Structure 1
């Protein structure tokens, strides 16, 4: 019982530190991780690192941060931003719509973090060019990346786990979840257009767009073309990673070190200094703290409580599953939560005549869209806000994010429940 109380206490301490900003989130996260290791939550101290830190995510972040910084020096993202403006930039609403749609579509086939790492520099460059506020567009893209991730098996790690456990094919999963993702995305567009209507009604002077030139952005044509080719190749590698049998982190490291070899062969210090080391350490600490909750059985306890709810009607139970999974995923990494719940769902299907196979889709929807609730609800959220601070010095508080995240998650849960009721 001692270890359970300490694990919960450490988790609450880190959440309070993040919410109040009294302590730097990385310091709080790493201190919390060290506490659960020192007191002996893990049988072997190294188990905390080998069993619970998701090194696929850590090296994915590291590799893509290096890659993005190499390409950013060649103005590739600013170029794409200006090109986008030339095509659809005469209306802020059309610009938002195109970028939200692109982020969601790419997030359905590529890891959300990778999508965010590609699009945030582009979006910041666009905002600078048009003198637009950063926060509304970055927030919309964060929400779009998590909603887009619900569309396919490969869009978000929980979907891979659920599809594997339930033996759902890529096509069967997409038939159910892709339309839901699209409906939720349209709801997001409506939400953003209403909440940020003042910003979106801003007029863009045609002469500002017309005066923008591509030529001035290309300082070295050979390096620029090579950067563009590298970007396309890396995106293709992510799209076909399962066919190529490559982990996401391996692709990210390939991108990082091939780009360094081809474009920054001698001096890489300035590139490595641009890596968001604070975010990487924060993730590592958070993985260990969540691992402590799993190691002590706290996550399993929460999952087992779902069994007690099956005495309710199936409609009420499935609605509660959506609410519970999205709420927990708003504060905890959805990967360990999904891992803890899957065995419980398997038993529920076997033991309860009220529960059928469709419960897997409810779990997927809740675990994925719940990540939009808070600034730490998903990896993409943390990285996007870290990039916003790194490049523009803008901090977004936990409360400010929650003010919008709570409502978009609520809207998506209601839509998901109605959608599932109709198709099932």
Structure 2
């Protein structure tokens, strides 16, 4: 077994048992230790590590983190949470508003943006209902993951599939093939967490997080948020047009963040408040994943089934379980290179299953890690590894079945 794969498994294991490790040991520290070890031992060279890092994702997250902090610092996040929690006696209404809100952000601005923006709101819901923060944060994880299924810009793996599939109307394709299982999954999520919230013991509620020093100006944050929405939507349309340039999401995010830095006198503070620990985590994760991919272990394991990689059960199995070990984005990238045929049903099944794979473990989706890191940044203890899996497992099973059955149904109609 390659050293890089052993390190990847050890990182996963250490994060799984983090609740029994010292409190000061954070997820980003564990991942960074693995990356440094692989660099020092020569399993990946510095130049290969730099090439493995997806700087477009890092740039996108930097802009999103700056915008999400500005929304929080200007009091906008607090106003949204107050609106969601206006009727504290109605858990279904609070959950409905919350799930719809983060789903829309996830579909338009990607799941990572929804994770960063939604974390303080989830904490506010916990404070309002006087329950521990874990449940609302886990509900946020599930909602942003499922919500990202609706659109071609909902998550990075969708973008890879759109680029490979050359769809004439990517928005319409995703709505046709994945909207129904996404809606079924969200409805089940609403019912399931309604039951969980109603049974949750009162107490251990976090304090209502508020900025240390609220910014007097809220309009730059609103302008940046609106600008990011417009740019992402226009970029999505660009996939269908030969006349509009198709720009990387990282560039769009940085451009959208410009008003924050132009129209504020707290530029240095804004840069400091960016979640650098999460950015370090992602840089380290790309290095660890890059070392694993360099070893050829995944490619070697998949090669015996090369002719069967387009079969529905094979796509489902490898997309789901492979995403737990190698992360969904690199797995999708390699899978696309190994597929002999790129028909729409196969690509949509790959997209849906690799996305829903995020609802199993904390490390299964980048948005889960963002939520954990953001909660800790606000001084709130998030969920534990196995606590997360215990609450999301029913949603995972229902959503996987719904996705597989719906795509199989559409295939049977066309056949």
Q: Note if contact 1:70-1:260 (Cα within 8 Å) is conserved in structure 2.
A: no
Deviations 1:120-160 (A, max 9, x none): 22332344345343222221121111111122222222222
Provide the rounded CA distance (Å) in 1 between the counterparts of 2:195 and 2:304. Answer: 38
Q: Which runs of 5+ in 2 are unaligned?
A: 204-212, 239-244
Task: Look up the SS of the partner of 2:383 in the other structure.
Answer: coil
Per-residue deviation, 1:200 = 11
Q: Distance in 2 between matches of 1:270 and 1:408?
A: 39
Question: Offset of 1:89 from its aligned partner?
Answer: 5.2
Does 1:389 find its partner at 2:376? Answer: yes
Q: Aligned with 2:85: secondary structure?
A: helix
* Secondary structure in 2 matching 1:81: helix
Larger radius of gyration: 1
Is it true that 1:287 corresponds to 2:286 in the alignment? yes
Q: 1:80 to 1:200 in 2, by over 3 A?
A: farther
1:318 match: 312
Change (3 A) 1:395 1:107: closer
Counterpart CA distance in 1 for 2:232 and 2:38 is 35
Cα displacement (A) at 1:419: 1.7
Name the residue aligned to 1:19: 16
In structure 1, what is the Cα distance between the partners aligned to 2:222 and 2:152?
A: 28
Task: Give the Cα–Cα distance (whole angstroms) in 1 for the partners of residues 94 and 344 of structure 2.
Answer: 40
Q: CA deviation at 1:70?
A: 2.8
| 2-structure distance, mates of 1:291, 1:219 | 41
Give the C-alpha shift of residue 337 in structure 1: 0.3
CA contact (8 A) 2:91 2:198 kept: no
- Is the 1:374–1:406 contact (alpha carbons within 8 Å) kept by the matching residues of 2? no
- CA distance 1:332–1:402, change in 2 (3 Å): farther
TM-score, normalised via structure 2 length:
0.84
What is the correspondence of 1:92-107 to structure 2 with a 5 Å cutoff?
92-107=91-106
* Matching residue of 1:31: 33
Mapping for residues 369-380 of structure 1, pairs under 5 Å: 369-380=356-367
* Deviation (angstroms), 1:18: 1.1
Q: How does 1:142-291 map to 2 (within 5 A)?
A: 142-168=141-167, 169-170=169-170, 171-199=172-200, 223-242=217-236, 243=238, 245-263=246-264, 265=265, 267-291=266-290
User: In the alignment, is the contact (CA less than 8 A) between 2:150 and 2:175 conserved in 1?
Assistant: yes
**In structure 2, C-alpha distance between the alignment counterparts of 1:235 and 1:394, rounded to whole Å:** 31
Equivalent-residue separation in structure 2 for 1:401 and 1:331 (angstroms): 17
Structure 1 residue 286, shift from structure 2 partner: 1.1
Closer, same or farther in 2 for the Cα pair 1:233/1:280, shift >3 Å? same
SS of residue in 2 equivalent to 1:153: coil
- Aligned partners of 2:185 and 2:395 also within 8 Å: no
Name whichever of 161-170 and 364-373 sits farther off.
Answer: 161-170
Q: How many residues matched? A: 389
Say which is worse superposed, 300-309 or 76-85, in terms of deviation: 300-309
Deviations 1:221-276 (A, max 9, x none): 6x13444344333333333334474432223323444213312x2x4444344332
Q: Distance in 1 between matches of 2:374 and 2:276?
A: 11
Q: Which residue of 2 aligns with 1:406?
A: 393
Change over 3 Å in CA distance of 1:147–1:302 after alignment to 2:
farther
Tell me the SS of whatever aligns to 1:139: helix
Q: TM-score, normalised by structure 1?
A: 0.82
After superposition, the CA RMSD in angstroms is 2.9
**Cα distance 1:102–1:409, how it changes in 2: closer, same or farther (>3 A)?**
same
Q: Which residue of 1 aligns with 2:241?
A: none
Alignment of 1:83-94 (within 5 A): 83-86=83-86, 90-94=89-93
Stretches of 4+ aligned residues off by more than 6 angstroms: 218-221
Cα displacement (A) at 1:334? 1.0
1:78 aligns with 2:78: yes
1:214: which partner in 2? none
Distance 2:336 2:5 in 1: 22
